[in-house]
Structure formats: structure tokens, C-alpha cells
Amino acid sequence: MLGSGLLCAGLVLTGCSSGSGSDRPELKVDGAFMPQPVSDMAAAFLTVSNTGGADKLTSVTSTLSDDVTIHESKDQRMRKVSGFDIPAKGRLDLERGGNHIMLMGLKKQPKDGERISLRLHFEKSDPIKVELPVKPPTYNPAKH
Ligand code: CU
């Protein structure tokens, strides 16, 4: 990792003035997919990796649904949460059986092979637009 202090020196105008430039999150999204929905509800999964300071996923929006929430799964039940922490130099995994993005009241049901888009909103970072491929309903990649 080349020093983020150096990088920060060039970014003074974009908010590194506090001298805590190394706290700036550096997020990257990959492995995103949506299993083909079998009703008017869908789930979406992805990984956010972070090479910078801590951030938080606070909400998700989509043109596919006006009701997108983020859920955690515990003891076979899911529960809406207000955000997911993205640790500094760590990652947030949304994966089957665990934390996920939930879309209710789909305006249309996308099919295997189509793509949908989501916009991820964070506490600190600018929103990230993600294109997700729609996969077969039982698709479950091994991530680790
Ligand atoms: Cu859910």
C-alpha cells in the first residue's frame, strides 16, 4: 500500500484539510448479483472492500423498486437494519444466508441473464452505482 498520506497531499481541495486523509474510505464493489426473483421480492448480494478508513452502508436505491432495505439474517430470520459497518481496511460481505439487500414490490421481475442497477449510499463516500447480473434462483458463488 503506497502511503495514503502522499495521495492526500494532492487532494487538499476535496476534503483532506483535517489532516486525517488516511481516514478516507476507499471503497470497491465486486461480486454483485441478484438471484432471479420468484415473486415480487428480490435479494441482492455483493462485497464492498475498503482499502481506506471506516465507512458505513446506509441505504440502497434502485429503479426496480421503491422499497429497498438492508437486512441482516440471524437465527433464520431477517431483520431490517439502519446500516452495515464497513471496517477500515476490511470488507462488508452481503451473501446468501447472511446480510443482504432486499427489494420489495418489484416493478418488473428481471430474468436470468438480464442486468439491474443499484445505487449504494454511504455515510462518508459518494454513492456507488452497481450493475448486477441476474443469476439463476439457486446461484451461490463460493467467495472465500
Ligand atoms: Cu431480507
What is the Rg, in whole angstroms, of the alpha carbon atoms belonging to the chain?
Answer: 17
What is the average per-residue pLDDT within 35-55? 97
- Beta strand pairing call for 84-86 and 55-62: antiparallel
Q: Cα(21) to centroid of ligand 1, in Å? A: 35
C-alpha pair distances (Å), 111 with each of 35, 107, 134, 137: 9, 13, 6, 10
Asked if pLDDT for residue 133 goes beyond 70, the answer is yes
CA of 4 to the centre of ligand 1 (A): 37
Bridge partners of 137, per DSSP, are: none
Q: Give the model's pLDDT for residue 75.
A: 86
Cell of 71: 437486512
Please give the pLDDT value at position 4. 47
Q: State residue 5's pLDDT score.
A: 47
Distance from Cα 18 to the centre of ligand 1, integer Å: 38
- Model confidence, pTM: 0.82
58: pLDDT strictly greater than 50: yes
Distance CA 141, CA 17 (A): 42
pLDDT at position 85 over 60: yes
Per the structure block, which three cell numbers stand in for 119?
445505487
- Distance between Cα 112 and ligand 1 center (Å): 20
Could you give the CA distance from residue 75 to residue 56 in angstroms, rounded to a whole number?
Answer: 24
Helix (H, G, I), strand (E, B) or coil at 54: coil
pLDDT-derived band at 16, boundaries 50, 70, 90: very low
Q: How large a percentage of the chain has pLDDT more than 90?
A: 78
Q: How far is the CA of 48 from the centre of ligand 1 (A)?
A: 18
39-68: average pLDDT:
97
Reply yes or no on whether the pLDDT at 13 is more than 80. no
**DSSP one-letter code for 140:** -
